[in-house]
Amino acid sequence: MIINIFVYVLMQQAIQAFLLIPKDSDFTIKNIPFGVASKPNGNPFPATIIGDSVINLAKLEELGYFNGPLFSTLGSKVFDSGNLNKFVSLSRPYWKEVRSQIQSLFQCGSQLENNQEALAQIITPVQDIQNHLPITIGEYTDFYSSKNHAFNMGSIIRGPDNAMQPNWYYLPVGYHGRRSSIVIDGTDIRRPWGQVKAPTAEKPSFTKCKRLDYELEIGAVIGGAPNNLGEPIKVNQAEDRVFGFVILNDWSARDVQVWEYVPLGPFGAKNFASTISPWIVSIEALEPFRIQLPEQDPEPFIYLKEKNHTSFDIRLEVLIGTEKSPELEHFTTSNFKYMYWSVNQQIAHHSITGCNIQPGDLFGSGTISGTTKDGRGCLMEYTWNGKEPLVLKSGEQRLFLEDGDVLEMRGYAGEGENRVGFGRCKGKILPALDEAYFQS
């Protein structure tokens, strides 16, 4: 095992791209994430990115560059549509082969390096493309798997002595979200309306959301063949169902949530929008950053007990800009290592009843919070439900998000030539619809 890891590290270090890669780029040749892009007025195409160069995977396939022993036996094109679903529906050996071939094609001395005619067809500068949702999302499930976040939220709502619900240590708590309102980085978010009830109010009122929040998460994109209905996915085989990861912002209307969530959980407070980053980062790219998670207590039931209880050392950042001070200001740093329930356990629990998990499904990690105040993964935590304002350099204060605010998330593992990042996950808050809209 140690020898295999050593060889893997040597191979990773040996790769040098012939494309220009800016300093501190998320998209080194060690990454090779997958997404969907388009040129102005053009059709979306499956893509990857190295540095500032977006690579058309459909064109690579058309020109015959994907000729590995697995891919060449498929008998039909995989990248000939405006999403990655065909590719995602394959299995890890295919994903690894394609990623490895892309790395080989764009490393120094490759057959492609001096083929200017082919490169002109394949590469587009990143500033000339638009990103799209990388997959047609089937179902969306959001979990609640960071212990720090669960404790903080429980302390706010019920007090520290009763912060953790009894079931939390026994299973990955989750709920089914709304896949149709998942949007790509850069999409504006309109402030929602809903029913709210203040603690001292006799009855609820219908109003625009006044406690709009974000949630810092990682999303797992499910791939591979679906399990049969009635046949759960085994926890130690679950990772083979993970195509890769994105950054996920699960926007939340906290005042709407408080009134509606009893007894069935989140509904309108969560269904109005969730934003994901455009590039899906593979497990292979993140493998050098795998870390062991703390031992779980109590010991999980057999269907949740992993041979290797791990996550990845992914630094997560949150930045905010306002209409008064539009330059983005960093205020939160967290990490994917602050997970209690792993992605594998989430998949195993989701399917334990026999639920058939499909390729193209998206699983949210739940808010990921660190151990300090500047590591809290949402404003409800950061401001302790509005009691401790976030004070910006401009002197402005935020309890929750205001109209015109821009909220951006970033994530990456490693440094320099070994950096593997996700790009940005960004959205601007638009004012709510006028009340007159509801009067016709």
Write out pLDDT tens, residues 231-241.
Answer: 999 999 999 99
Query: 3-state SS string over 367-428?
Result: CCCCCCHHHCCCHHHHCCCCCCCEECCCCCEECCECCCCEEEEEEEECCHHHCEEEEEEEEE
Annotated binding residues, written as ranges, equal 142, 144, 158, 215, 217, 250, 257, 261, 270, 274, 367
Q: Is 200 helix (H, G, I), strand (E, B) or coil?
A: coil
* Torsion region of 215: left, alpha or beta (phi above 0 gives left; psi -120 to 50 gives alpha): beta
Which pLDDT belongs to residue 130? Answer: 98
CATH number reported for the structural domain that contains residue 64 in this entry: 2.30.30.230
Task: Say yes or no: 125 and 148 in one domain.
Answer: no
Which residue from 278, 316, 314, 282 is spatially nearest to 427, judged by alpha carbons? 278
Which pLDDT belongs to residue 440? Answer: 76
CB 88 within 8 A of CB 135: yes
Task: Say yes or no: 84 and 224 in one domain.
Answer: no
Which residue from 151, 131, 158, 152 is spatially nearest to 54, judged by alpha carbons? 131
For the CA atoms of the chain, what is the radius of gyration? 22
Write out pLDDT tens, residues 274-293.
Answer: 999 999 999 999 999 999 99
Task: Say yes or no: 168 and 210 in one domain.
Answer: yes
Task: Say yes or no: 286 and 302 in one domain.
Answer: yes
Write out pLDDT tens, residues 405-431.
Answer: 999 999 999 999 999 999 999 999 999
Task: Say yes or no: 21 and 99 in one domain.
Answer: yes
Task: Say yes or no: 197 and 145 in one domain.
Answer: yes
Task: Say yes or no: 215 and 302 in one domain.
Answer: yes
Task: Say yes or no: 106 and 154 in one domain.
Answer: no
- Is the pLDDT at 134 greater than 60? The verdict is yes
Task: Say yes or no: 435 and 331 in one domain.
Answer: yes
- Is the pLDDT at 12 greater than 80? The verdict is no
Q: Which of 132, 149, 176, 330 is catalytic?
A: 149
Over residues 372-401, mean pLDDT: 97
Over residues 248-256, mean pLDDT: 98
Task: Say yes or no: 101 and 187 in one domain.
Answer: no
Give how many domains the chain has, as a whole number: 2
CB 130 within 8 A of CB 43: no
Write out pLDDT tens, residues 334-352.
Answer: 999 999 999 999 999 999 9
**Of 84, 115, 132, at which residue does a domain stop?**
132
CATH number reported for the structural domain that contains residue 167 in this entry: 3.90.850.10
Instruction: Quickly tell me which residue has 């240590």 as its tokens.
Output: 169
Write out pLDDT tens, residues 161-213.
Answer: 999 999 999 999 999 999 999 999 999 999 999 999 998 999 999 999 999 99
**Residue 361 token pair:** 């499904």
CA of 30: how far to CAs of 13, 234, 310, 415, in Å? 9, 30, 21, 11
Which residue from 35, 158, 50, 151 is spatially nearest to 102, judged by alpha carbons? 50
- Is the pLDDT at 42 greater than 70? The verdict is yes
Write out pLDDT tens, residues 301-335.
Answer: 999 999 999 999 999 999 999 999 999 999 999 99
Annotated binding residues for Ca(2+), written as ranges, equal 142, 215, 217, 250
Which pLDDT belongs to residue 14? Answer: 61
Which pLDDT belongs to residue 338? Answer: 98
Annotated binding residues for Mg(2+), written as ranges, equal 250, 270, 274
Which pLDDT belongs to residue 11? Answer: 41
Q: Is 350 a catalytic residue?
A: no
In the beta sheet, which residues pair with residue 292? 310
Residues 210-247 as b/e (b if ≥16 CB within 10 A, e otherwise) read ebbbbbbbbbbbbbbebbeeeebbebeebbbbbbbbbb
Which pLDDT belongs to residue 3? Answer: 34
d(CA 197, CA 377) in angstroms, rounded, equals 25
d(CA 176, CA 139) in angstroms, rounded, equals 8
> Which range of residues forms the domain containing residue 92?
2-132
Task: Say yes or no: 211 and 278 in one domain.
Answer: yes
**Of 88, 111, 132, at which residue does a domain stop?**
132
pLDDT classification of 49: cutoffs 50, 70, 90 = very high
Q: Is the pTM of this model over 0.75?
A: yes
**Of 132, 165, 193, at which residue does a domain stop?**
132
Task: Say yes or no: 174 and 298 in one domain.
Answer: yes
Instruction: Quickly tell me which residue has 């057959």 as its tokens.
Output: 111
